[in-house]
Chains A and B, each alone.
Chain A
Amino acid sequence: MYKALADAIKDAEREKKSLAQVALAAESRDQGRPVEDIRAALMRALVVMRSAIEKGLVGDLYSASGLVGGDAAKLRTSAKGPLADTPFRDILTRALAVQEVNAAMGVIVAAPTAGGAGVLPAILTGLAKAKSVSDEKVVDGLATAGLIGAVVAERASLSGAEGGCQAETGAAAGMAAGAATEMLGGTPSQVGHAVALTMQGTLGLVCDPLGGLVELPCVFRNATGAAIALAGIEMALAGITFAIPVDEVIDVMGEIGREMDVRYRETAGGGLAATPTGRRLAKERLYQIKRADG
């Protein structure tokens, strides 16, 4: 797989191909698997993503601690808010839905991780619905997203314990923005700018879940991550460019992650987890989980 998005973009431009095609060809070479086989696996992932969204929209799922759940349904049915009846609102709702399913031990696709699993399906399926995009194109989007995630894994990190939330929902937002930009007709170069424009907005984001559980703020950070990705897509498709090359933005995300104090890397030692209320809720709810299981 590629170690720099710049190389993939160069190959795509030279061969007059999409980044999805370039990514699928590289994966096929690396793994010795036919492209159709890889596409079939991505299609299976898409089916699971859609089914998680459907389950999450019902609004009857709660996490083990009871700290999160039911909010996707609230957003789906609310008539208030400036984004009611827009694809933007629909996408935020889908992001919450997937993460609520995840927190309730439902089946999701880790993309790139379970904690950031809401952003990519929300953006791709939400925009596919709004713009009538075929499943084949959405699968292409998943391939492009996989390419971007692989480059982030190689150059920085995809783990909150290593790099904070910028490495989970931040990376997911970058993957989603790049994939959707291509899905909506953007050029390979515009994909690069979409990733950079999105990930500059999540740099420094800490991983500070209450009690160390993938619940709060993780569920909501998938929705805000999707919102940042939409901003990146909108700007890139308008032809806006980001002066710092995308691979350098990814590198600096990794650097910030390595410099980040351990309190802000999934340990519940800092950030929201360490606020007075965060500590109190974690203590109460973790006790409740133990009682329920014991």
Chain B
Amino acid sequence: MVSLLDIIGPVMVGPSSSHTAGACRLGLLARGLIGGTPQSGLLQLHGSFARTGEGHGTDKALVGGLLGFRPDDERIREALQIAEREGLDYKFEKVTIADAAHPNTVRINLELDGRKATMLGSSLGAGRILVQEIDGYPAEVTGNLHTIVLVAEDKKGSIAKITGILAEHDINIATLRVSRKERGGDAFMMIECDEEPDKKAGEELRALDWVRWTRRLPKVSGG
């Protein structure tokens, strides 16, 4: 459903809604995935991101997102210098991810305090984005809502337990999707929430002994 505020918006640093605003949003989601400003980041650019990214500030926007800047933050222009000051060691690579991949696609590989995270996402135009893969699990995250991602042992009743915890924190679930790499393998869950999940809800989910890890990804799009 198209919203008026998607058409008259977003407010953003130029020059391109797909190459700049969308790239920044992908960076913000990757930052959520690693849980803060990463110490190192390898950003693999595919297609048009690789070909015209420099002139569109795609590099600055991606790194700006990793630093926590929103698409309308003018610090994006100096994001590469700020990253150096803040100890974010970034590197860009031009790659072909797959011939059929969307032209504006990036794989982001991050490290923070020994933890690693990878995310594959595309900028679809007009600032809209789609994350297709997280740590190798098939994903579908748009950033239009607050999203909880978690990896859990494939266990009966796990979804009921998780939705119960969120209900106790008065968080309404908009969508819930589960994927896995193979049968009997760990389950990867993406839970889009109408309200921003608080830190305590995240901690309670993490405390479940069959949950391997969980992260809260910010809402980065929508009015």
Task: Please give the residue numbers on chain A whose beta carbons come within 8 Å of chain B beta carbons, in ascending order.
Answer: 1, 23-24, 27, 30-31, 33, 38, 41-42, 44-45, 48, 63-65, 101-115, 117, 120, 142-143, 145-147, 149-150, 153-154, 158-159, 161-162, 175, 211-215, 267-268, 285-286, 289-290, 293
Contact = CB atoms under 8 A, between A and B. Distances in A.
Contacts of A103: 14-15
A152 B4 CA distance: 12
Interface of B: 1-21, 48, 51-52, 54-57, 59-60, 72, 74, 76-77, 80, 103, 125-127, 223
B55 A145 contact: no
Contacts, number: 154
A202 B80 CA distance: 39
B77 A105 contact: yes
- State the main secondary structure of chain A at its contact with B: helix
Nearest to A106: B14
30 contacts: A27-B4, A38-B223, A45-B11, A48-B72, A64-B54, A64-B55, A65-B55, A103-B14, A104-B15, A105-B76, A106-B13, A108-B12, A110-B21, A114-B12, A142-B8, A143-B4, A145-B8, A146-B7, A154-B2, A158-B125, A158-B126, A159-B126, A161-B103, A162-B125, A212-B48, A212-B52, A214-B16, A215-B55, A289-B55, A293-B59
B126 A110 contact: yes
* For the complex of A and B, 5 pairs with smallest distance between CB atoms: A102-B14, A146-B4, A149-B7, A212-B52, A214-B15
Nearest to A219: B15
A286 B11 contact: no
B7 A145 contact: yes
Q: Most chain-B Cβ atoms within 10 A of its Cβ — which of A104, A105, A161? A: A105
Contacts of B20: 105, 114
A1 B3 contact: yes
A240 B54 CA distance: 46
